[in-house]
Chain A
Amino acid sequence: MRVLAFGAHPDDIEFRMAGTLAKYAARGDEVFMCVATNGEIGSYGMSRAEIAAMRHKEAQASADVIGAHLIWLGYEDEMIFDNRETRIAFVEAVRNARPDIIFAPPKFSDYNQDHDICGYLAFEARVLATVKLIETEHPVIDHLPPLFFCTAHGGLSSKTNPQYFVDITETFDTKMKMFKCHASQDGPWSKAAFGVLYSDMLVNENKFYASACGTAGVEYVEAYTLCTDWPAIAGAHKLLP
C-alpha cells in the first residue's frame, strides 16, 4: 500500500499520526510525509531562517526513523492560504505519492489556521489529483483515495468526534522516537508558548483514546474521522492498519 500524511508544521504528523504510519511502514507499505510549512516561528532564540533549517533536518530525521519519504513544501509558517499555488502544490504531493489512503489535519475545526487550511487543501487535492486537465508536473492518478482526518490539538475539535481508533501500542515507542527528533519544539518552546510539555500532551492524548476504546491490551491509540464528503469510498476503514 501507499500512504500519504499531510501536516501543517514539522512535528504535526508525528504528534497525531506517526504511530499509524509506523504500523504501515513496519509491514512494508510505502509512506509519504508531506509537511506544508517550514515552522519558522517555532523559536524564541533563533532567526526565522535558522529555525526553519533546523526543523527541516528534524523532519528528515523523523521520516528516516520509519523510512518514509519526506515531501517538504516550505510555505511560510502561519501564512498558508488556499490559493492557486498551494492547491497545485498539494495536488503535486498527492500525485507524487499516488496514495491508497490519505491522512490530514481536520479541515476548519482546529485551533490553528495552518492546520485548518492544510486539512482543507488535502481535502481539495484528493479529488483534483484525479482530474486529468488539472495539469501538473506529476501525471494524474487513476484512483481516488479515502481521506481520514486526525484529531485536533488537545483532543478538542470544534466539529468532529473521532470514529476510528487505531491501536498503536506496538509502535508507540517508534512514534515517540520520531516526535523526539523535533527537539527544538518539545521542551522550552512548547513550555514557553503554551505552558505544556508537548510530549506529555501526546502521551496523554494517545492514552485517552485508548481508554475510550476499553479494549484489553490496548494502551495507546490514535483516532480518526473519515471524510464523508463525496466520494467517501466504500470500505475505506479497511485500509486502516
Chain B
Amino acid sequence: MSKQLTVLCASAHPDDIELQCAGTLIRYVNEGHKVFMAVACTGNVGSKQHTGPEIEAIRAEEAKRGAEVIGAELIHMDYKDADIWLDHAHWTHYVDLVRQTNPDVILTHDRDDYVHDHSNVGELVYRAAIWASTANIPECKLPPIDHIPTVFYFETVGTNRVAPPDHYVDISEEFDQKLHAFSQHVSQHGDFLEKQYGVKDWNDYMSTVNKLRGFQCGCKYAEAFRVVQTWPNHRAYRLLPPVQFGSR
C-alpha cells in the first residue's frame, strides 16, 4: 500500500459529512491523504420556505463550500431526497463510485440509521466496497480495482441502536475548522432542521456529541466510528488518523 491513502466518505445528504466526520477528514487532508466526499442526494426536500429547485441549488453551493473548507473533492451522485433504493441501478452506480475513487478507506452511514436515505447509502457502499474489485459485473462502466477497501461507519443521528463505537479520532485541534465547514450549510440551521426536529442549535448538537466522544476517549473533542465487522475488512494497522502503516 502506498503511504498516501485515498479516502472515500459517502453520505446521503449535503451536511451529513460535515456533521459526522469532517474533523477526521481534515486530519486526513493534513496528513497528506486524498479525500473524496460523495453526496447522494441534492437535498431538495430540506426547506420549509424554498421550492425544491431553489433549495437544491442553495445546498449544492453550500456543499461546495463545505468541501473546500475540509479540502476534499466533492462528488454529487444527484439523486433526489428519499429516492435512494437498494436496487440494481443504485448498486452499480455505487460500485462505479468506488472504482472511480479507488479508496483504501471508506467512511459512510451506519446501515441502521434513523432514515432510509442514510441506511441505504450505508448498505450500498458497504456492498459496493466488495464488488468494486470483482470482475465481470456487466453493468458497471469502470474496470475493477485491485483491493477491497476498509469500511467504517460514522455516527448515527442520536444514539446508535446497534452498538457503541469502537474507534475514536481526536479532533480537538480540528474542531474549529469542522465547525466552520458545518456552518457553510446555513440553509439547514434555523429553518428545516429546527422546524422538523425542534433542535434550535445544530452547532451545539454537534459539539455535544463530539464532547461526549471526547470524554469517552480522554480528549476534548472526538469523532467516533464503528469498523465493519465482516470479512475481509480488518487490518493489523490503523487506517484512521493518525494513520499508521505496517503492523509492527
Contact = CB atoms under 8 A, between A and B. Distances in A.
B209 A214 contact: no
Nearest to B164: A156
B161 A204 contact: no
Contacts of A204: 208, 211-212, 215
A217 interface: yes
A215 B157 CA distance: 13
Interface residues of B, number: 18
Interface stretch (B62-70, B134-142, B197-205): B197-205
B216 A212 contact: no
Nearest to A194: B218
A155 B161 contact: no
Contacts of B199: 211, 214
A216 B200 CA distance: 8
A2 interface: no
A211 B198 contact: no
B216 A156 contact: yes
Contacts of A155: 212, 215-216
B208 A207 contact: yes
Interface string A188-224: 0000000110000100110111011111111000010
A161 B161 contact: yes
Contacts of B197: 214
Contacts of A215: 198
Interface string B125-136: 000000000000
Please tell me the size bucket of the interface on A.
20 to 34
A155 B218 CA distance: 13
| Residue from B159, B199, B211, B218 whose CB has the most chain A CB atoms within 10 Å | B159
| Residue from B160, B161, B209, B215 whose CB has the most chain A CB atoms within 10 Å | B215
A218 B205 CA distance: 12
A27 B138 CA distance: 68
Contacts of A214: 157-158, 197-199
A162 interface: yes
A154 interface: yes
A157 interface: yes
A217 B211 CA distance: 21
A212 B198 contact: no
A223 B215 CA distance: 18
A155 B212 CA distance: 8
Contacts of A218: 198
Interface string B206-237: 00110110011010000000000000000000
A209 B159 CA distance: 8
Nearest to B193: A214
B227 to A, nearest CB: 17
B55 to A, nearest CB: 21
Nearest to A159: B164
A205 B158 contact: no
Nearest to A208: B212
Interface of A: 154-157, 161-162, 195-196, 201, 204-205, 207-209, 211-218, 223
Given A162-B159, A204-B212, A214-B199, 7 more contacts: A154-B216, A155-B216, A195-B218, A204-B211, A204-B215, A212-B159, A215-B198
**Would you list the 3 A-B pairs with minimal beta carbon distance, nearest first?**
A216-B198, A212-B158, A214-B197
Interface of B: 157-161, 164, 197-199, 204-205, 208-209, 211-212, 215-216, 218
20 contacts: A154-B215, A155-B212, A156-B216, A157-B164, A161-B159, A161-B160, A161-B164, A201-B215, A204-B215, A208-B208, A208-B209, A211-B158, A211-B205, A211-B208, A213-B158, A214-B197, A214-B198, A215-B198, A216-B198, A218-B198
